[in-house]
């Protein structure tokens, strides 16, 4: 069970990190 929670946490973390990178990238392209 602990491993499942860990996997879900990693999945959510990497997904939100990718979304953050995309957001910053699009903001940079708008500013430039």
Dist. CA 26–CA 16, nearest whole Å: 15
Question: How far is residue 19 CA from its own chain's centroid?
Answer: 4
pLDDT of res. 27:
92
Backbone torsions φ then ψ of 6, nearest 5 degrees: -65, -45
pLDDT per residue as tens digits for the range 1-32:
667 788 999 999 999 999 999 999 999 988 86
Left if phi > 0, otherwise alpha if psi is -120 to 50, otherwise beta: which for 20?
alpha
Distance of CA 7 to the CA centre of its chain: 14
**Cα–Cα distance, 1 to 7 (Å, whole number):** 10
Would the pTM of this model clear 0.75, i.e. be above it?
no
């Amino acid at each position: 069970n602990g491993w499942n929670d860990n996997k879900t946490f990693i999945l959510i973390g990497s997904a939100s990190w990718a979304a953050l990178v995309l957001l910053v990238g699009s903001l940079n392209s708008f500013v430039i």
